[in-house]
Structure 1
């Protein structure tokens, strides 16, 4: 039913988000870059990659007019790029200088949303590149947002597990408490809406940390107001749902029936996007790759209109169900075999290497203790271990090892006057920023949002 067309392997870190239009495919990553490809042959454009963000890029989106690409980052900026030249048209700094986690264009491409870790959402005017309004919408981080197909309202999802529906002037239309246990990771409006008597109805998909994908019906009535009701709860995933998307015709995330599970990615799938004009989609993963798929022959008429696709990684292996720090010696041996490093199993067993010991290995230890003289093999092992360390960022890394500003593992930690430790580069960048608030205030804001 779904055929893999090609696999793009240009990013050097996790792929965090994808955006797909009739002309372009955009991908962003923890490697601080945004990459842009042509949808004709999926070759990277001459001006790609785009480099302007100081930290990892969390989200990217393409405007319906085809002129703009937007990306947002931990550096508190949402950057507007020209899809024609790759030039940065504007750098929109979030009012509170909080890390920006998500961004979305309105259907008419006149407005742009940016949601931040301090629970605020900013609405920007795309034409004038100016801030229209900014308001606190959640006590937690804003991790998801989506415009309705009419463009007159938008929804936000937060780490508190709530979904909030707003007008463009940021008037609350509805609040869905406890939409997902442990937090909302993603949400997406169906491109189509329907009219039932005097009510206009919209479908919304949301995914969360509770491993659930939920389909909601939002009804707007002239006299009864706005209502939101749950249509389906889909539970095929065995891990948090990180991304969800409707197809352009609204049919490929429609019924509560699982028809296809795709397992080609090696690690967790973090991003997915449908083409707006044909049955083609892209998926991105922590394995640093982007896969392009064709559904059927690419025509809507040839595809069963009630298909629901679920993307998973190779997480059926026993060792991958637990945190790396909790792996046993047998888990490490299984991991070595799975990564093509069977030749090292006996040496690792002889040194009683478990998960905690594995992630602490370095070049010197591999050379002197394990007698791995091959530079190539040593480098390969270290790259695999680095990937494991990266996967710990949101799991078992002690909080004191993470910089409060970037939420990344510190490489060069320094202690500030307030007694807390920060990444040197992040603190120097903050200090050198004009019109900054005090670092202590920033940390207090961050603590309150977490």
Structure 2
């Protein structure tokens, strides 16, 4: 069962996009503003709305830590904001000055992609705030973008209906005609899956379009073979163009919003419709799940954003977790463990896990003691300022254990907590059903 718990009606024009971090909801609108709300009580933050764009804001997204928000606009810019105080950090101007329709961070927030109406796509280096690479599609506007969970590839969707795979060097690796009348949105599930027919490993990807369809794809990749999309199935339910789609944080549900004013939630594994929501009175333009909770936000041309909460027990009862997720994790390869780490915002641990040959079976057996003794991960959290001061004095060991630091990259504790919470929740449900 799903319950509407809040309706936000602060925008004065169409809501174009919404995004959630572990603590905030961001919405953007044709009214040129971005608004931010606390997930604790859905009160608007004191520094909201964010103003600075001179035309409609089409898309917004959070960095993996949630500390930076990116927004893009018809004014040809992508703006980075500090979510702690609402200050503008940078204004990234699309080289062609074309209206920017979509922006997305890579899983570790090293890069930011911006796609424009003239088909140009730019990969920005977030640390230096400089253009890293650029390219363009042959035809149409870029209106959709999603990073693969491993962070090495991303997919763009165009108004001409093409899905294009790019690597992190901006090389075009693959192109697929996906939707006859144009792609509107695409998204990746963060967890790898198996294709029962061939026993191969993939990531699920969803796309939707003006042809009223939602398509599921299997995304495969290899460093020496590139990447490709394999069509899996089409989900039914909408009677008009589908404008938005998004996976739940565990990949078990896919939500979509349509011109038919409805929101449909499918069970990913079976394609069955779990819920149909008809709260909005005009086109549903955006939908997004929270990254670590059973919470859903939907936005519409009716100028409102609806917040929905799931009944947790019912969700798990029909979610497919009874199919023993522990066993599927046990079969993960080292590459799939690395992809999972990247999807959780823990990319700096990948090299350590690879060096120690951590596959799915090893991952399940890890304990705090083995993290400390074998992988040299001390398991402690520190205040950011104190740790930065420690490192600035050229200390290269843990303050608590005196073990050598494998990396000087600081990972926000919020990200680590989120990953651990997801993991424990999955294993708890597995234990309850066995």
Q: Specify the TM-score bucket, using the shorter chain as the normaliser.
A: 0.5 to 0.7
1:259 Cα offset (Å):
2.3
Contact 2:142 2:159 in 1 (8 A): yes
- 1:139-178 to structure 2, matched below 5 A, reads 139-177=139-177
- 1:38-77 to structure 2, matched below 5 A, reads 38-77=38-77
Residue of structure 2 equivalent to 1:232: 233
Residue of structure 2 equivalent to 1:28: 28
User: In structure 2, how many angstroms separate the alpha carbons of the residues matched to 1:198 and 1:302?
Assistant: 26
1:195 Cα offset (Å):
6.2
User: In structure 2, how many angstroms separate the alpha carbons of the residues matched to 1:53 and 1:172?
Assistant: 31
Residue of structure 2 equivalent to 1:258: 273
Does the alignment pair 1:84 with 2:98? no
User: In structure 1, how many angstroms separate the alpha carbons of the residues matched to 2:277 and 2:231?
Assistant: 26
Contact 1:198 1:221 in 2 (8 A): no
Structure 2 runs not aligned, ≥5 long: 255-267, 322-434
SS at match of 1:149: coil
User: In structure 2, how many angstroms separate the alpha carbons of the residues matched to 1:73 and 1:175?
Assistant: 26
User: In structure 2, how many angstroms separate the alpha carbons of the residues matched to 1:181 and 1:119?
Assistant: 17
Residue of structure 2 equivalent to 1:305: 319
1:227 Cα offset (Å):
3.1
What is the TM-score normalised by the length of structure 2? 0.68
Does the alignment pair 1:282 with 2:283? no
User: In structure 1, how many angstroms separate the alpha carbons of the residues matched to 2:216 and 2:52?
Assistant: 36
- 1:369-408 to structure 2, matched below 5 A, reads none
Q: Deviations over 1:171-225 (max 9, x none)?
A: 1221112x00110000001111246799541110000000000000112256665
User: In structure 2, how many angstroms separate the alpha carbons of the residues matched to 1:195 and 1:244?
Assistant: 22
Contact 1:205 1:216 in 2 (8 A): yes
Residue of structure 2 equivalent to 1:204: 205
- 1:77-156 to structure 2, matched below 5 A, reads 77-156=77-156
Q: Deviations over 1:332-352 (max 9, x none)?
A: xxxxxxxxxxxxxxxxxxxxx
Residue of structure 2 equivalent to 1:292: 307
1:154 Cα offset (Å):
0.0
Q: Deviations over 1:369-416 (max 9, x none)?
A: xxxxxxxxxxxxxxxxxxxxxxxxxxxxxxxxxxxxxxxxxxxxxxxx
1:232 Cα offset (Å):
1.3
1:305 Cα offset (Å):
1.1
Supply the RMSD in Å over aligned alpha carbons: 1.8
Report the count of equivalent residues.
305
User: In structure 1, how many angstroms separate the alpha carbons of the residues matched to 2:213 and 2:240?
Assistant: 9
User: In structure 1, how many angstroms separate the alpha carbons of the residues matched to 2:81 and 2:165?
Assistant: 28
Contact 1:199 1:222 in 2 (8 A): no
Residue of structure 2 equivalent to 1:336: none
Residue of structure 1 equivalent to 2:191: 192
1:258 Cα offset (Å):
1.4
SS at match of 2:253: coil
1:134 Cα offset (Å):
1.1
SS at match of 1:43: coil
Residue of structure 2 equivalent to 1:6: 6
Structure 1 runs not aligned, ≥5 long: 308-450
User: In structure 2, how many angstroms separate the alpha carbons of the residues matched to 1:303 and 1:71?
Assistant: 37
User: In structure 1, how many angstroms separate the alpha carbons of the residues matched to 2:191 and 2:15?
Assistant: 28
User: In structure 2, how many angstroms separate the alpha carbons of the residues matched to 1:223 and 1:67?
Assistant: 35
Q: Deviations over 1:6-39 (max 9, x none)?
A: 0000000000000011111000000000000001
Contact 1:200 1:221 in 2 (8 A): no
Contact 2:72 2:78 in 1 (8 A): yes
1:137 Cα offset (Å):
2.2
1:303 Cα offset (Å):
5.0
- 1:310-389 to structure 2, matched below 5 A, reads none
